Amino acid sequence: MSKQTESAEKVVPLKPPATSRGRATLARLLAAAEAEFGQKGYHAASVAGITNEAGVGQGTWYLYFKSKEDAFRHLVQDIGAGVRRAMAQAVAATSDQMDAERRGLEAFVRYVHEHPHLYRIVQESQFVDEALFRGYYRGIAEGYAAALNAAAARGELLPGDGETRAWAIMGIGHFLGLRYAVWEGRKAPEAVVDEIMRLLEHGMAPR
Protein backbone atom coordinates (compact mmCIF):
# COMPACT_ATOMS: atom_id res chain seq x y z
CA MET A 1 0.00 0.00 0.00
CA SER A 2 1.43 3.40 -0.97
CA LYS A 3 1.90 6.21 1.51
CA GLN A 4 -0.64 8.26 -0.45
CA THR A 5 -3.25 5.51 -0.17
CA GLU A 6 -2.51 5.09 3.53
CA SER A 7 -2.90 8.81 4.21
CA ALA A 8 -6.17 9.02 2.30
CA GLU A 9 -7.59 6.08 4.21
CA LYS A 10 -6.91 7.92 7.47
CA VAL A 11 -9.34 10.65 6.48
CA VAL A 12 -12.42 9.92 8.54
CA PRO A 13 -15.51 11.87 7.42
CA LEU A 14 -16.29 14.67 9.83
CA LYS A 15 -18.92 13.76 12.36
CA PRO A 16 -21.45 16.60 12.50
CA PRO A 17 -21.22 18.44 15.82
CA ALA A 18 -24.03 17.69 18.23
CA THR A 19 -25.14 21.31 18.65
CA SER A 20 -26.48 23.77 16.10
CA ARG A 21 -23.77 26.22 17.18
CA GLY A 22 -21.09 23.62 16.51
CA ARG A 23 -22.53 22.81 13.10
CA ALA A 24 -22.62 26.49 12.22
CA THR A 25 -18.98 26.89 13.28
CA LEU A 26 -17.89 23.92 11.19
CA ALA A 27 -19.78 25.29 8.19
CA ARG A 28 -18.00 28.65 8.59
CA LEU A 29 -14.62 26.95 8.85
CA LEU A 30 -15.21 24.87 5.72
CA ALA A 31 -16.46 27.91 3.78
CA ALA A 32 -13.43 29.91 4.92
CA ALA A 33 -11.12 27.03 3.99
CA GLU A 34 -12.70 26.86 0.54
CA ALA A 35 -12.00 30.57 0.03
CA GLU A 36 -8.46 30.42 1.46
CA PHE A 37 -7.33 27.34 -0.46
CA GLY A 38 -9.17 28.45 -3.59
CA GLN A 39 -7.67 31.93 -3.66
CA LYS A 40 -4.12 31.16 -2.49
CA GLY A 41 -3.54 27.51 -3.27
CA TYR A 42 -2.71 24.81 -0.78
CA HIS A 43 0.87 25.78 0.04
CA ALA A 44 0.29 29.51 0.48
CA ALA A 45 -2.90 29.04 2.50
CA SER A 46 -2.63 29.14 6.28
CA VAL A 47 -4.61 28.13 9.34
CA ALA A 48 -4.50 31.77 10.48
CA GLY A 49 -6.00 32.91 7.19
CA ILE A 50 -8.84 30.41 7.52
CA THR A 51 -9.63 31.22 11.13
CA ASN A 52 -9.54 34.96 10.44
CA GLU A 53 -11.94 34.51 7.53
CA ALA A 54 -14.22 32.34 9.67
CA GLY A 55 -14.07 34.69 12.64
CA VAL A 56 -12.91 32.04 15.13
CA GLY A 57 -9.81 31.54 17.23
CA GLN A 58 -7.13 28.97 16.43
CA GLY A 59 -8.08 27.11 19.58
CA THR A 60 -11.50 26.51 18.08
CA TRP A 61 -9.88 25.32 14.86
CA TYR A 62 -8.18 22.43 16.61
CA LEU A 63 -11.49 21.21 17.97
CA TYR A 64 -12.36 20.32 14.37
CA PHE A 65 -9.09 19.70 12.50
CA LYS A 66 -5.64 18.34 13.33
CA SER A 67 -3.75 20.42 10.77
CA LYS A 68 -4.01 22.39 7.53
CA GLU A 69 -3.61 19.15 5.58
CA ASP A 70 -6.36 17.48 7.59
CA ALA A 71 -8.70 20.40 6.87
CA PHE A 72 -7.85 20.31 3.16
CA ARG A 73 -8.68 16.63 2.94
CA HIS A 74 -11.98 17.11 4.72
CA LEU A 75 -12.75 20.07 2.44
CA VAL A 76 -12.24 17.96 -0.71
CA GLN A 77 -14.54 15.31 0.76
CA ASP A 78 -17.10 17.99 1.66
CA ILE A 79 -16.98 19.44 -1.87
CA GLY A 80 -17.49 15.98 -3.36
CA ALA A 81 -20.45 15.37 -1.06
CA GLY A 82 -21.86 18.76 -2.04
CA VAL A 83 -21.64 17.95 -5.75
CA ARG A 84 -23.35 14.60 -5.26
CA ARG A 85 -26.04 16.13 -3.06
CA ALA A 86 -26.79 18.95 -5.51
CA MET A 87 -27.13 16.56 -8.42
CA ALA A 88 -29.20 14.06 -6.45
CA GLN A 89 -31.63 16.80 -5.46
CA ALA A 90 -31.85 18.00 -9.06
CA VAL A 91 -32.75 14.58 -10.46
CA ALA A 92 -34.98 13.39 -7.61
CA ALA A 93 -38.26 14.31 -9.34
CA THR A 94 -37.25 13.70 -12.97
CA SER A 95 -39.48 11.64 -15.23
CA ASP A 96 -36.82 9.45 -16.89
CA GLN A 97 -33.06 9.08 -17.24
CA MET A 98 -32.64 11.51 -20.14
CA ASP A 99 -34.49 14.15 -18.13
CA ALA A 100 -32.16 13.32 -15.25
CA GLU A 101 -29.12 13.76 -17.51
CA ARG A 102 -30.16 17.29 -18.40
CA ARG A 103 -31.04 18.28 -14.85
CA GLY A 104 -27.84 16.74 -13.55
CA LEU A 105 -25.65 18.66 -16.00
CA GLU A 106 -27.43 21.90 -15.18
CA ALA A 107 -27.10 21.25 -11.44
CA PHE A 108 -23.37 20.57 -11.74
CA VAL A 109 -22.66 23.79 -13.63
CA ARG A 110 -24.83 25.70 -11.16
CA TYR A 111 -22.90 24.22 -8.25
CA VAL A 112 -19.57 25.17 -9.84
CA HIS A 113 -20.90 28.68 -10.44
CA GLU A 114 -21.72 28.90 -6.72
CA HIS A 115 -18.35 27.37 -5.74
CA PRO A 116 -15.86 28.94 -8.18
CA HIS A 117 -12.82 27.54 -6.35
CA LEU A 118 -13.90 23.92 -6.79
CA TYR A 119 -11.67 23.18 -9.78
CA ARG A 120 -8.50 24.59 -8.25
CA ILE A 121 -9.03 22.81 -4.94
CA VAL A 122 -9.81 19.45 -6.50
CA GLN A 123 -6.93 19.67 -8.98
CA GLU A 124 -4.47 20.60 -6.21
CA SER A 125 -5.59 17.60 -4.19
CA GLN A 126 -3.71 15.29 -6.57
CA PHE A 127 -0.45 16.86 -5.37
CA VAL A 128 -1.41 16.77 -1.69
CA ASP A 129 -2.78 13.21 -1.77
CA GLU A 130 -3.39 11.48 -5.10
CA ALA A 131 -5.68 8.87 -3.54
CA LEU A 132 -7.90 11.66 -2.26
CA PHE A 133 -7.99 13.20 -5.74
CA ARG A 134 -8.99 9.89 -7.31
CA GLY A 135 -11.53 9.29 -4.56
CA TYR A 136 -13.30 12.56 -5.36
CA TYR A 137 -14.06 11.43 -8.92
CA ARG A 138 -14.66 7.79 -8.07
CA GLY A 139 -17.16 8.82 -5.40
CA ILE A 140 -19.20 10.60 -8.07
CA ALA A 141 -18.72 7.93 -10.75
CA GLU A 142 -19.81 4.94 -8.66
CA GLY A 143 -23.28 6.22 -7.85
CA TYR A 144 -23.70 7.62 -11.36
CA ALA A 145 -22.75 4.31 -12.99
CA ALA A 146 -25.26 2.47 -10.82
CA ALA A 147 -28.00 4.91 -11.86
CA LEU A 148 -27.17 4.46 -15.56
CA ASN A 149 -27.18 0.68 -15.25
CA ALA A 150 -30.53 0.81 -13.46
CA ALA A 151 -31.96 3.06 -16.17
CA ALA A 152 -30.79 0.65 -18.87
CA ALA A 153 -32.41 -2.23 -16.98
CA ARG A 154 -35.69 -0.25 -16.94
CA GLY A 155 -35.46 0.26 -20.71
CA GLU A 156 -34.84 4.02 -20.46
CA LEU A 157 -31.41 3.64 -22.09
CA LEU A 158 -29.94 1.23 -24.60
CA PRO A 159 -27.95 -1.60 -22.99
CA GLY A 160 -24.36 -0.59 -22.26
CA ASP A 161 -21.68 -0.32 -19.61
CA GLY A 162 -22.76 2.19 -16.99
CA GLU A 163 -19.25 2.81 -15.68
CA THR A 164 -17.87 3.75 -19.09
CA ARG A 165 -20.86 5.96 -19.76
CA ALA A 166 -20.55 7.61 -16.36
CA TRP A 167 -16.92 8.64 -16.86
CA ALA A 168 -17.58 9.86 -20.41
CA ILE A 169 -20.52 12.05 -19.39
CA MET A 170 -18.61 13.29 -16.33
CA GLY A 171 -15.96 14.51 -18.77
CA ILE A 172 -18.60 16.48 -20.66
CA GLY A 173 -19.85 18.00 -17.42
CA HIS A 174 -16.32 18.80 -16.26
CA PHE A 175 -15.49 20.88 -19.31
CA LEU A 176 -18.95 22.41 -19.47
CA GLY A 177 -18.43 23.73 -15.93
CA LEU A 178 -14.90 24.88 -16.72
CA ARG A 179 -15.92 26.73 -19.88
CA TYR A 180 -18.93 28.57 -18.49
CA ALA A 181 -18.96 28.59 -14.67
CA VAL A 182 -15.21 29.09 -14.17
CA TRP A 183 -13.96 30.96 -17.23
CA GLU A 184 -17.06 33.04 -17.92
CA GLY A 185 -18.69 33.13 -14.49
CA ARG A 186 -22.14 32.16 -15.74
CA LYS A 187 -24.47 29.23 -16.16
CA ALA A 188 -24.32 27.20 -19.35
CA PRO A 189 -26.66 28.62 -22.01
CA GLU A 190 -29.78 26.55 -22.64
CA ALA A 191 -28.81 26.13 -26.29
CA VAL A 192 -25.52 24.54 -25.21
CA VAL A 193 -27.30 22.10 -22.90
CA ASP A 194 -29.73 21.33 -25.76
CA GLU A 195 -26.80 20.43 -28.00
CA ILE A 196 -25.28 18.15 -25.37
CA MET A 197 -28.61 16.42 -24.91
CA ARG A 198 -28.87 15.84 -28.67
CA LEU A 199 -25.41 14.27 -28.51
CA LEU A 200 -26.40 12.01 -25.62
CA GLU A 201 -29.70 11.04 -27.21
CA HIS A 202 -28.63 10.52 -30.81
CA GLY A 203 -24.83 10.53 -31.06
CA MET A 204 -22.99 12.25 -33.94
CA ALA A 205 -22.87 9.65 -36.72
CA PRO A 206 -25.38 10.22 -39.56
CA ARG A 207 -28.26 7.74 -39.69
16 or 76, which is more confident: 76
Reported as a pLDDT band with limits 50, 70 and 90, residue 12 is low
Question: Is the same domain home to 43 and 78?
Answer: no
Could you give the CA distance from residue 149 to residue 161 in angstroms, rounded to a whole number? 7
Do both 120 and 135 map to the same domain? Answer: yes
Residue 54 lies in a domain: yes
pLDDT at res. 8:
42
Give the model confidence (pLDDT) of 18-36 as tens digits. 789 999 999 999 999 999 9
* pLDDT value at residue 1: 40
- What CATH number does residue 19 fall under? 1.10.10.60
Q: Which residue has the higher pLDDT, 1 or 146?
A: 146
% of the chain beyond a pLDDT of 70: 93
- Assess whether 160 and 112 both reside in one domain: yes
Q: Which of 66, 81, 165, 163 is nearest to 122 (CA)?
A: 81
1 is a domain residue: no
Q: Residue 61: what residue type?
A: W
d(Cα 54, Cα 90) in Å, to the nearest integer? 29
Residue 48 near residue 83, CB atoms below 8 Å: no
pLDDT at 183: 96
**Judgement on whether residues 86 and 131 belong to the same structural domain of the protein:** yes
Residues 73 and 61 in one domain: no
92 plus 36 within the same structural domain = no
- The predicted model gives 170-197 an average pLDDT of 96
* Summary mean pLDDT of the chain: 91
Domain annotation covers residue 8:
no
Inter-CA distances, 74 with 13, 71, 158, Å: 7, 5, 38
pLDDT for the residue numbered 24: 93
Show the domain range for 105.
68-207
For residues 49 and 106, membership in a common domain is answered with: no
Tallying the residues shown for the chain, one arrives at 207
Q: Are 199 and 129 in a shared domain?
A: yes
Distance of alpha carbon 110 from alpha carbon 182, whole angstroms: 11
Which domain CATH number covers 108?
1.10.357.10
Which residue type occupies 1? M
Shared-domain flag, residues 52 and 139: no
Look at residue 102 and tell me whether its pLDDT is greater than 80. yes
Percent of the chain with pLDDT over 90: 85
- Domain boundary (65, 84, 104) is at 65
Calculate mean pLDDT across residues 149-160.
Answer: 95
d(CA 58, CA 123): 27
Does residue 152 share a domain with residue 170? yes
Look at the chain and report how many structural domains it folds into: 2
